[in-house]
Structure 1
Amino acid sequence: MSDNMDDTYSSATRHMPRIVREYEVLRIAGQISGDRVPNAANAAIREVLKWAQRRCGGRLPSEAWERKSFDYLSGGRNSSCVRLQSATSDLWAIRADDPDKTVAERVWTTEVVVGLLQDQPVQFSARLLVSTPEADPQIEPHTPGFIQQVVENCGLFKNKRPFFLAPTIFETEEDAEELIGYMIDPSRQLPIFVVTLAENEQTNPATLDTVALSRAVLGIGYVALLHPAATWRLTERFGKLRSVFGGAARVYLPGFSDDADPYIHHLVLANQLETVESAARAARWMRQLAAKESILRTKLGRDVLSFAAIRNANLQLRQEDLRNEDASPNDQLKAANELIDSLKTQVSSLDSEQEYYVAEYEKERSRAELSESQAQKSAYRIQQLIRQIKDKGDDPDMDIAFPANWSEFSAWCDEKLAGRLVLTPNAHRGTRGPMFTDAETAARCLLWLASDCRDQRINGGGGSINNVTIMDGIQNASCGSDTYDFDWNGRRFSADWHIKNGGNTRDPSRCLRIYYCFDPQTQQIVVSDMPAHRRSGAT
């Protein structure tokens, strides 16, 4: 019976049309430079139209070059344009289709909007989409060719930073300061792909084509090429765990800072770029990452306008004009049907976008669950290895070197205490040039937390660490009424313990406080704040 039903279902589905879905590949949002705004807008529109003309298989109508609305139908290479004007804005939008030259039934769609808004530079946005019956299309993203034309002939920038076709080269430590400023800029929305030269390379990496990569991510990412002298400055500023050097490459996502989790900002080691094939794989991954980030970090309807939304607004205005002009019922019905069809298209596009975000959410949730599970396994494994070392009579921290100053402190914690103790972003900020001068003493206290204190907490010895002397004049104690809550890694904790030096001094140069708690889930000490005395109700 089951076999018969399967046969019937298979037979029926063979005669059903294949489902074609539209996938969004990337989004670009920026501004056009130029003192005379209307001229800058017209120049950008002209570049887009020249690109569309080359791909449409014929000649666009005269209305196109007059900046008017038009529809051009050419057997799959269709183009539609809408001009929407008001007292305070002037929006020009085009949607162009282009069948893939190698993959059957795959059609590329490009949407571009050039907008003039009152007292603002020219707004420019673009979307690249693909329609295909493929269940899981394998795509190597590349920004459309007209983006290069706009950058070269009009100038395109984002957050006052211009785009360039070639990678930006940083040769000296002084050059690196400019890059560092952009890396930590909280308003940055695009990833930075930092590629470094090995000592024996003079101008370009031997395998990774940075020029091709820069063109592929033009408008959705920046490519920086660093000489060895510039990489030293990055290492000095961010430490080895957050830096990149020696022929390696690294992507710095938006939100990067001095205390960022180094593992979020992916590092591609030099040995992963040794061959042309491995470098090509890394470049594909970088292009895919830039495209994905462009969709996740730009909002449809705010940063990027869809062609359907502008066409709908234009059709609504047209329908209203027909009613005011007392047009014939047939004309009004035709306009209403056009609006309905356009709204259906917009709804379909929004459904596709929603499905994309749901799929990305599920992927991220699965990755988070896997990462959390692996972190717990790693924590237990670390504890097991430490116990085995101690059972042999050895001390794994016996020859540990302590940081001599605060500039080395964060990197030292990440390297020497990984898996046992973690600093929250707030604690990281506290270690940037604090008034408390003795960085080595603070480091010795953290080592005690990561070893003796952590061991006792894992073994259930909570109260036994109260008022324990860590070193001369420094104790571990309960926070008591000064306990406070804080958020870390998406969870809420209570900082119920702190390390303090003796006396009741409030002199910041001599007063040490380290507020922390123990996280049984990750088996780590979580340091919430240091090294200054935290203000509370009692103080």
Structure 2
Amino acid sequence: MQFVYAAHVPVAPRPGSDMTPDEGFRSVVAGWAKGRLGIQIDDWRAGQAEGRNAQAQWVTLDGDAGRLRRLEVSHTDPAGPWSWRIVTWLGEASGSSWLRIRIGLDPKVDGIVMDPNISVGAPRFIQALGEQFTLTIDGRELGSWWQVSESGVRSYVQFLESPERRLPVVAITRQPSTPAPVAPEQLARRLAGIAHVAAVEPAATYGVSDAITPTRSVFGGAVRLYWPGFRRDSRPYSHPLFMPSGRYLHSDSFVDDLAARLGRSAGLFLGPPQLEGELRREEVLRGAEEARRKQEERQQRQQEAKEKAAGGLSAEEFEIFSRDFEAEAARRAELEERVAELELSLEEERELRIRQESAHREAWQSLAGGASDSTVSIAAVEPPHEREPETVREAVEIAASRCPDLVFTQSAYESADESQFGSPKDVLRDLLLLQDVAQQWASGTMGGDFRTAFDGRHSNFRSGISQTAATQYGNDYTVSYNGTTVQMGPHLCRGGVGAPPTILRIYWYKDDATKKLVVGHVGRKLRDESNPN
């Protein structure tokens, strides 16, 4: 069984509605089963039925722990050698209601490895329930999306970093003059129950980058996935970034792949609800108690029969009572053994859940950057630093991971994306040199000024920009940093004239307060008197 979708959704009545979640669930799900599969559900207490290439069984469990309705449907898929299994629960406990769904594939053949090539999303009956009830996860309504403007950056970042967040966040961005690569409303409907969707406006991406650093932010038409447990010091590679190169982000394949990845992750972390095990245990215990009561009644009748036998009861009547007593005693012993097995199974399940929850927490912490550098499984996710970059953007990303005394702004990544410079390894070499000089400056071991530090190591260091560049083209050299704007000046040069692939400029701002060099541009030569265009 491969689970490809799972969701756990709290359910609450909408204001002014008299319909209970239980009434809505029975109405909507029964209508879906009949219309979609031809399965008729009349009595929700327990039953089973067959429909159009489909089978279903359902049961209602009641007890001190709460109430649970469970429906399991299996139906064959005419498009492939597998069948679908959909299990849905409506639970009521401690005054609240929730819905849980798991969708899986059962292969009809053994030993064949193939790509199912399926499209998975939230079942249609969830949308129908959402029209009648309030379905929320992490305080956000199911299937909705929100637009992050400049004024909403703070609350958005707080949501990303919230330790209580249960679902991933898919952040979509766009260029100022173009639409997003994927429509947020379409993606939100497809990922309902397994991820939140946020569309970050271009102007807001700068504030987000300032808050969580550009290496962990997303901008310029890219899409990023933030797993639960994200922090501003998390490993960037643990939260996948999808770049806007090519047509992939604009295709249905991207949405399908993302839904499949998130659906499988949800299926791994959401199993059968614990309430079901508790209610089944109560059911067995009630059966054992009823058997005990009946046995006591039979013992009483047998005792009366013995006494009566002494006064003339026939041997045949006494034999009948004896057989009944022995049969009931055997049934009680069987039930008591079953209860003991269930109690052992529940205890083992409880211990397993505790271990799983602990492992899950450690896994999320590792994925979010909480693991030490010695963690082999997580360290393997991050590309080895020894590799040579293939693009200017990759050179900046590698440098950002290796240069603690440099700060790379969002504009540094944007300029790197646009750069046509033909030797990314030289870009990385210059950035590593800049880190070495920055470390000397921060530690007070430079032994002179920046020109002295670069002397003999790089022939094209410039300590500032011209007066014309600073006044006439000042906006080109201004970047957003720590919630304010600063003007870059010092820079390294490669190439002076010629085609763009031969020209590189790395501009930075010197932050005297933090002793950091703030890199704001890695790419083409910015405008000045010799380069007015």
Query: Shared fold by TM > 0.5?
Result: yes
Q: Does 2:121 correspond to 1:142?
A: yes
Evaluate the alpha carbon distance shift between residue 150 and residue 258 of structure 1 in structure 2; reply closer, same or farther with a 3 A threshold: same
In structure 1, the residue matched to 2:146 is 168
In structure 1, what is the Cα distance between the partners aligned to 2:191 and 2:289? 42
CA-CA distance at 1:267 after TM superposition: 1.2
1:82–1:314: 8 Å Cα contact kept in structure 2?
A: no
In structure 1, what is the Cα distance between the partners aligned to 2:282 and 2:51? 25
In structure 1, the residue matched to 2:20 is 39
1:417–1:450: 8 Å Cα contact kept in structure 2?
A: no
In structure 2, what is the Cα distance between the partners aligned to 1:417 and 1:26? 36
Residue correspondence of structure 1 range 268-347 to structure 2 within 5 A: 268-272=242-246, 274=247, 279-298=251-270, 300=271, 304-305=273-274, 314=283, 317-318=286-287, 321=290, 324-325=293-294
CA-CA distance at 1:310 after TM superposition: 5.9
In structure 1, the residue matched to 2:371 is none
TM-score by length of 1: 0.55
In structure 2, the residue matched to 1:222 is 196
In structure 1, the residue matched to 2:436 is 451
In structure 1, what is the Cα distance between the partners aligned to 2:83 and 2:137? 29
Secondary structure, aligned partner of 1:263: helix
In structure 1, what is the Cα distance between the partners aligned to 2:380 and 2:397? 22
* Matched letter for residue 451 of structure 1: D
Residue correspondence of structure 1 range 201-280 to structure 2 within 5 A: 201=178, 204-205=179-180, 207-272=181-246, 274=247, 279-280=251-252
1:111–1:307: 8 Å Cα contact kept in structure 2?
A: no
In structure 2, what is the Cα distance between the partners aligned to 1:309 and 1:56? 31
CA-CA distance at 1:32 after TM superposition: 0.6
Deviation per CA, 1:355-411: give whole Å up to 9, x if none: xx99xx9xx999657547x52644xx79xxxxxxxxxxxxxxxxxxxxxxxxxxxxx
1:45–1:114: 8 Å Cα contact kept in structure 2?
A: no
CA-CA distance at 1:159 after TM superposition: 3.3
Residue correspondence of structure 1 range 54-93 to structure 2 within 5 A: 54-60=35-41, 62-64=42-44, 68-74=45-51, 76-93=53-70
Pairing partner for 1:197 from 170, 174, 177: 174
1:194–1:225: 8 Å Cα contact kept in structure 2?
A: yes
Q: Does 2:107 correspond to 1:107?
A: no
1:196–1:247: 8 Å Cα contact kept in structure 2?
A: yes
Deviation per CA, 1:423-443: give whole Å up to 9, x if none: 9xxxxxxxxxxxxxxxxxxxx
In structure 1, the residue matched to 2:469 is none
TM-score by length of 2: 0.55
CA-CA distance at 1:415 after TM superposition: 7.0
Unaligned runs of 5+ in 2: 299-323, 368-374, 390-395, 407-431, 448-513, 515-533
1:55–1:77: 8 Å Cα contact kept in structure 2?
A: no
In structure 2, the residue matched to 1:117 is 93
CA-CA distance at 1:37 after TM superposition: 10
Evaluate the alpha carbon distance shift between residue 58 and residue 254 of structure 1 in structure 2; reply closer, same or farther with a 3 A threshold: closer
CA RMSD across the alignment: 4.6
CA-CA distance at 1:44 after TM superposition: 3.0
In structure 2, what is the Cα distance between the partners aligned to 1:294 and 1:148? 19
In structure 2, what is the Cα distance between the partners aligned to 1:308 and 1:97? 22
In structure 2, what is the Cα distance between the partners aligned to 1:78 and 1:315? 26
Task: Kindly report structure 1 stretches of 4+ aligned residues shifted beyond 4 Å.
Answer: 35-38, 305-320, 322-333, 364-372, 413-417, 420-423, 447-450, 452-455
In structure 2, what is the Cα distance between the partners aligned to 1:99 and 1:173? 49
Evaluate the alpha carbon distance shift between residue 38 and residue 332 of structure 1 in structure 2; reply closer, same or farther with a 3 A threshold: farther
Pairing partner for 2:384 from 334, 359, 375: 375
Evaluate the alpha carbon distance shift between residue 219 and residue 109 of structure 1 in structure 2; reply closer, same or farther with a 3 A threshold: same
1:24–1:130: 8 Å Cα contact kept in structure 2?
A: yes
1:414–1:422: 8 Å Cα contact kept in structure 2?
A: no
* Matched letter for residue 445 of structure 2: I
2:68–2:276: 8 Å Cα contact kept in structure 1?
A: no
- Matched-pair identity in %: 18
Pairing partner for 1:95 from 50, 67, 72: 72
Q: Does 2:61 correspond to 1:52?
A: no
2:65–2:93: 8 Å Cα contact kept in structure 1?
A: yes
CA-CA distance at 1:42 after TM superposition: 2.4
Evaluate the alpha carbon distance shift between residue 214 and residue 371 of structure 1 in structure 2; reply closer, same or farther with a 3 A threshold: closer
Deviation per CA, 1:254-308: give whole Å up to 9, x if none: 1112222222211111224x367x632322221122113313444x35xx35978
Evaluate the alpha carbon distance shift between residue 316 and residue 212 of structure 1 in structure 2; reply closer, same or farther with a 3 A threshold: farther
Residue correspondence of structure 1 range 352-501 to structure 2 within 5 A: 368=378, 370-371=380-381, 375=384, 377-378=386-387, 416=399, 418-419=401-402, 421=404, 451=436, 470=445
Evaluate the alpha carbon distance shift between residue 90 and residue 285 of structure 1 in structure 2; reply closer, same or farther with a 3 A threshold: same
Q: Does 2:131 correspond to 1:152?
A: yes
In structure 1, what is the Cα distance between the partners aligned to 2:76 and 2:190? 20
Evaluate the alpha carbon distance shift between residue 51 and residue 323 of structure 1 in structure 2; reply closer, same or farther with a 3 A threshold: farther
Evaluate the alpha carbon distance shift between residue 59 and residue 88 of structure 1 in structure 2; reply closer, same or farther with a 3 A threshold: closer
Deviation per CA, 1:451-508: give whole Å up to 9, x if none: 38999xxxxxxxxxxxx96268xxxxxxxxxxxxxxxxxxxxxxxxxxxxxxxxxxxx
Secondary structure, aligned partner of 2:28: helix
1:24–1:129: 8 Å Cα contact kept in structure 2?
A: yes
Secondary structure, aligned partner of 1:83: strand
Unaligned runs of 5+ in 1: 1-21, 383-412, 424-446, 456-467, 473-530, 532-539
* Matched letter for residue 109 of structure 1: R
In structure 2, the residue matched to 1:512 is none
Evaluate the alpha carbon distance shift between residue 96 and residue 366 of structure 1 in structure 2; reply closer, same or farther with a 3 A threshold: farther
Secondary structure, aligned partner of 1:90: strand
Deviation per CA, 1:21-75: give whole Å up to 9, x if none: x222222112112379981332234222222222332422x213xxx22222347
In structure 2, the residue matched to 1:188 is 165
The count of aligned residue pairs is: 358
In structure 2, what is the Cα distance between the partners aligned to 1:184 and 1:116? 30
2:33–2:39: 8 Å Cα contact kept in structure 1?
A: no
* Matched letter for residue 25 of structure 1: V
In structure 2, the residue matched to 1:523 is none
In structure 2, what is the Cα distance between the partners aligned to 1:117 and 1:153? 20
* Matched letter for residue 70 of structure 1: G
In structure 2, what is the Cα distance between the partners aligned to 1:28 and 1:323? 41
Bigger Cα Rg: 2
2:405–2:435: 8 Å Cα contact kept in structure 1?
A: no
* Matched letter for residue 106 of structure 2: S
Secondary structure, aligned partner of 1:44: helix
